[in-house]
Chains A and B, each alone.
Chain A
Amino acid sequence: SQQGEEDPQALSIQEGENATMNCSYKTSINNLQWYRQNSGRGLVHLILIRSNEREKHSGRLRVTLDTSKKSSSLLITASRAADTASYFCATDARGSQGNLIFGKGTKLSVKP
Protein backbone atom coordinates (compact mmCIF):
# COMPACT_ATOMS: atom_id res chain seq x y z
CA SER A 1 0.00 0.00 0.00
CA GLN A 2 1.25 3.47 -0.85
CA GLN A 3 2.18 5.58 2.15
CA GLY A 4 3.31 8.67 0.29
CA GLU A 5 1.44 10.29 -2.56
CA GLU A 6 3.09 13.00 -4.62
CA ASP A 7 1.28 15.86 -6.20
CA PRO A 8 1.27 16.81 -9.03
CA GLN A 9 1.92 13.66 -11.04
CA ALA A 10 3.62 15.75 -13.71
CA LEU A 11 5.01 19.27 -13.79
CA SER A 12 6.42 21.22 -16.72
CA ILE A 13 8.26 24.52 -16.19
CA GLN A 14 10.80 26.79 -17.85
CA GLU A 15 14.43 26.98 -16.84
CA GLY A 16 14.93 29.47 -14.04
CA GLU A 17 11.49 28.94 -12.54
CA ASN A 18 10.90 27.27 -9.18
CA ALA A 19 9.38 23.80 -8.97
CA THR A 20 7.29 22.69 -6.03
CA MET A 21 6.24 19.10 -5.41
CA ASN A 22 4.09 17.90 -2.57
CA CYS A 23 3.87 14.62 -0.71
CA SER A 24 1.14 13.43 1.62
CA TYR A 25 1.37 10.37 3.83
CA LYS A 26 -0.90 8.44 6.14
CA THR A 27 0.83 7.25 9.29
CA SER A 28 3.30 8.61 11.84
CA ILE A 29 6.85 8.67 10.56
CA ASN A 30 10.42 8.71 11.81
CA ASN A 31 11.66 10.58 8.77
CA LEU A 32 10.72 11.49 5.22
CA GLN A 33 13.14 11.37 2.32
CA TRP A 34 13.15 12.69 -1.23
CA TYR A 35 14.81 10.86 -4.10
CA ARG A 36 15.41 11.71 -7.75
CA GLN A 37 15.37 9.29 -10.66
CA ASN A 38 16.70 10.19 -14.06
CA SER A 39 15.23 8.25 -16.94
CA GLY A 40 16.55 4.70 -17.05
CA ARG A 41 18.61 5.08 -13.89
CA GLY A 42 18.40 4.15 -10.23
CA LEU A 43 17.12 6.47 -7.55
CA VAL A 44 19.44 8.98 -5.94
CA HIS A 45 18.92 10.26 -2.43
CA LEU A 46 18.41 14.02 -2.20
CA ILE A 47 17.49 14.93 1.34
CA LEU A 48 16.17 13.49 4.60
CA ILE A 49 14.03 15.38 7.09
CA ARG A 50 13.27 13.98 10.51
CA SER A 51 9.87 14.09 12.16
CA ASN A 52 11.05 16.73 14.65
CA GLU A 53 12.32 19.05 11.89
CA ARG A 54 10.17 21.53 10.00
CA GLU A 55 12.48 22.71 7.24
CA LYS A 56 15.74 21.68 5.68
CA HIS A 57 17.92 23.09 2.91
CA SER A 58 20.48 21.54 0.62
CA GLY A 59 21.81 23.73 -2.18
CA ARG A 60 18.84 24.69 -4.37
CA LEU A 61 16.57 22.26 -2.52
CA ARG A 62 14.24 23.22 0.29
CA VAL A 63 12.12 20.64 2.06
CA THR A 64 9.37 21.34 4.55
CA LEU A 65 7.55 18.90 6.77
CA ASP A 66 4.21 19.41 8.49
CA THR A 67 3.53 16.39 10.67
CA SER A 68 0.14 17.75 11.77
CA LYS A 69 -1.01 17.66 8.13
CA LYS A 70 1.09 14.63 7.28
CA SER A 71 2.58 16.43 4.33
CA SER A 72 5.90 17.54 2.91
CA SER A 73 6.98 19.73 0.05
CA LEU A 74 10.11 19.82 -2.07
CA LEU A 75 11.06 23.14 -3.64
CA ILE A 76 13.72 23.32 -6.33
CA THR A 77 14.75 26.92 -6.92
CA ALA A 78 16.11 28.34 -10.17
CA SER A 79 15.52 25.07 -11.99
CA ARG A 80 17.80 23.82 -14.75
CA ALA A 81 17.21 21.46 -17.64
CA ALA A 82 19.37 18.94 -15.76
CA ASP A 83 16.71 18.85 -13.00
CA THR A 84 14.40 17.02 -15.42
CA ALA A 85 13.66 13.75 -13.64
CA SER A 86 11.08 11.97 -11.52
CA TYR A 87 11.00 12.85 -7.84
CA PHE A 88 9.81 10.47 -5.15
CA CYS A 89 9.06 10.93 -1.50
CA ALA A 90 9.64 7.99 0.80
CA THR A 91 8.54 7.59 4.38
CA ASP A 92 10.12 5.63 7.15
CA ALA A 93 6.99 4.83 9.12
CA ARG A 94 7.26 4.14 12.83
CA GLY A 95 7.36 0.42 13.44
CA SER A 96 8.46 -0.31 9.87
CA GLN A 97 11.94 -1.54 10.85
CA GLY A 98 13.41 1.24 8.78
CA ASN A 99 11.83 0.11 5.53
CA LEU A 100 10.84 2.91 3.21
CA ILE A 101 7.51 3.22 1.44
CA PHE A 102 7.74 5.19 -1.79
CA GLY A 103 5.13 7.30 -3.49
CA LYS A 104 4.43 7.09 -7.21
CA GLY A 105 6.50 10.16 -8.02
CA THR A 106 6.25 13.53 -9.73
CA LYS A 107 7.66 13.76 -13.23
CA LEU A 108 9.36 17.12 -13.63
CA SER A 109 10.23 18.51 -17.03
CA VAL A 110 12.35 21.66 -17.19
CA LYS A 111 12.40 23.24 -20.62
CA PRO A 112 15.46 25.23 -21.68
Chain B
Amino acid sequence: DAGITQSPRHKVTETGTPVTLRCHQTENHRYMYWYRQDPGHGLRLIHYSYGVKDTDKGEVSDGYSVSRSKTEDFLLTLESATSSQTSVYFCAISGSRAGGPETQYFGPGTRLLVL
Protein backbone atom coordinates (compact mmCIF):
# COMPACT_ATOMS: atom_id res chain seq x y z
CA ASP B 1 0.00 0.00 0.00
CA ALA B 2 2.90 2.32 -0.80
CA GLY B 3 3.55 3.26 2.84
CA ILE B 4 0.18 4.79 3.59
CA THR B 5 -1.77 4.09 6.74
CA GLN B 6 -5.12 5.38 7.86
CA SER B 7 -6.48 5.51 11.37
CA PRO B 8 -8.86 4.52 12.65
CA ARG B 9 -9.87 1.80 10.20
CA HIS B 10 -13.41 1.66 11.55
CA LYS B 11 -15.37 4.17 13.57
CA VAL B 12 -18.91 4.46 14.81
CA THR B 13 -19.97 7.85 16.11
CA GLU B 14 -23.09 9.82 16.87
CA THR B 15 -24.56 12.73 14.98
CA GLY B 16 -23.13 16.03 16.12
CA THR B 17 -19.82 14.73 17.44
CA PRO B 18 -16.48 15.78 15.96
CA VAL B 19 -14.43 13.15 14.18
CA THR B 20 -10.84 13.25 12.98
CA LEU B 21 -9.37 10.78 10.53
CA ARG B 22 -5.64 10.52 10.08
CA CYS B 23 -3.59 9.67 7.02
CA HIS B 24 0.11 8.95 7.47
CA GLN B 25 2.64 8.37 4.69
CA THR B 26 6.25 7.31 4.72
CA GLU B 27 6.91 8.08 1.03
CA ASN B 28 7.66 11.80 1.40
CA HIS B 29 5.16 12.53 -1.39
CA ARG B 30 4.13 16.11 -1.86
CA TYR B 31 0.45 15.64 -2.70
CA MET B 32 -2.16 14.12 -0.41
CA TYR B 33 -5.88 13.65 -0.97
CA TRP B 34 -9.01 12.70 0.92
CA TYR B 35 -11.82 10.97 -0.96
CA ARG B 36 -15.12 9.48 0.08
CA GLN B 37 -16.62 6.46 -1.65
CA ASP B 38 -20.35 5.87 -1.68
CA PRO B 39 -22.48 3.41 -3.65
CA GLY B 40 -23.62 4.96 -6.90
CA HIS B 41 -21.14 7.85 -6.67
CA GLY B 42 -17.72 6.30 -7.03
CA LEU B 43 -14.86 8.25 -5.47
CA ARG B 44 -15.30 11.95 -4.85
CA LEU B 45 -12.55 14.33 -3.81
CA ILE B 46 -13.09 16.10 -0.48
CA HIS B 47 -9.89 18.08 0.03
CA TYR B 48 -6.34 17.87 -1.15
CA SER B 49 -2.94 19.19 -0.14
CA TYR B 50 -0.05 20.22 -2.34
CA GLY B 51 2.40 20.82 0.49
CA VAL B 52 2.71 21.51 4.20
CA LYS B 53 0.01 23.99 5.20
CA ASP B 54 -1.18 24.16 1.56
CA THR B 55 -4.65 22.73 1.11
CA ASP B 56 -7.62 23.27 -1.15
CA LYS B 57 -11.21 22.15 -1.54
CA GLY B 58 -12.42 19.34 -3.72
CA GLU B 59 -15.81 18.50 -5.13
CA VAL B 60 -17.56 17.66 -1.82
CA SER B 61 -15.82 19.76 0.84
CA ASP B 62 -18.84 21.06 2.76
CA GLY B 63 -18.79 19.84 6.37
CA TYR B 64 -15.12 18.85 6.23
CA SER B 65 -11.87 20.56 7.11
CA VAL B 66 -8.28 19.40 6.74
CA SER B 67 -4.87 20.20 8.11
CA ARG B 68 -1.35 19.31 7.10
CA SER B 69 1.31 20.45 9.55
CA LYS B 70 3.88 17.85 8.46
CA THR B 71 4.66 16.26 5.11
CA GLU B 72 3.69 12.83 6.38
CA ASP B 73 0.33 13.60 8.00
CA PHE B 74 -2.96 14.78 6.52
CA LEU B 75 -5.92 15.06 8.87
CA LEU B 76 -9.58 15.14 7.87
CA THR B 77 -12.01 16.57 10.42
CA LEU B 78 -15.76 16.36 10.48
CA GLU B 79 -16.60 19.23 12.81
CA SER B 80 -20.09 17.94 13.58
CA ALA B 81 -20.77 14.57 12.00
CA THR B 82 -24.03 13.96 10.16
CA SER B 83 -25.58 10.73 8.91
CA SER B 84 -24.89 11.83 5.32
CA GLN B 85 -21.18 11.58 6.13
CA THR B 86 -21.45 7.85 6.68
CA SER B 87 -19.06 6.56 4.07
CA VAL B 88 -15.73 4.92 3.35
CA TYR B 89 -12.93 7.46 3.39
CA PHE B 90 -9.74 6.95 1.41
CA CYS B 91 -6.50 8.83 1.63
CA ALA B 92 -4.21 8.93 -1.39
CA ILE B 93 -0.76 10.32 -2.09
CA SER B 94 1.05 11.35 -5.24
CA GLY B 95 4.55 12.42 -6.02
CA SER B 96 5.57 15.33 -8.19
CA ARG B 97 6.22 14.93 -11.88
CA ALA B 98 7.34 17.50 -14.40
CA GLY B 99 3.75 18.24 -15.33
CA GLY B 100 2.31 17.83 -11.84
CA PRO B 101 1.01 14.90 -9.78
CA GLU B 102 0.05 11.76 -11.63
CA THR B 103 -0.31 8.24 -10.27
CA GLN B 104 -2.05 8.13 -6.92
CA TYR B 105 -1.44 5.52 -4.23
CA PHE B 106 -4.29 4.73 -1.91
CA GLY B 107 -4.52 3.83 1.73
CA PRO B 108 -6.69 0.97 3.03
CA GLY B 109 -9.68 3.16 3.87
CA THR B 110 -11.66 4.11 6.98
CA ARG B 111 -15.25 2.97 7.38
CA LEU B 112 -17.22 5.64 9.22
CA LEU B 113 -20.76 5.11 10.47
CA VAL B 114 -22.61 8.10 11.86
CA LEU B 115 -25.68 7.13 13.86
Interface residues on B, range: 20 to 34
Contact at B31–A33, with CB atoms within 8 Å? Answer: no
A-B contact count (CB 8 A): 60
Contact at A42–B103, with CB atoms within 8 Å? Answer: no
Contact at B107–A42, with CB atoms within 8 Å? Answer: yes
Which residues of A lie under 8 Å from residue B56 when comparing CB positions?
97
Check B104 for interface membership: any CB of A closer than 8 A. Answer: yes
Task: Label chain A's interface by main secondary structure.
Answer: strand
Contact at B106–A42, with CB atoms within 8 Å? Answer: yes
Which residues of B lie under 8 Å from residue A81 when comparing CB positions?
none
B positions within 8 Å CB-CB of A: 1, 4, 31, 33, 35, 40-45, 48, 50, 56, 58-59, 90, 92, 94, 99-109
Q: List 26 A-B contacts (CB under 8 A).
A: A31-B102, A40-B109, A42-B1, A42-B4, A42-B92, A42-B106, A42-B108, A43-B43, A43-B90, A43-B92, A45-B103, A48-B103, A88-B42, A97-B50, A97-B56, A98-B31, A98-B99, A99-B45, A99-B48, A100-B104, A101-B59, A102-B35, A102-B42, A102-B44, A103-B42, A104-B41
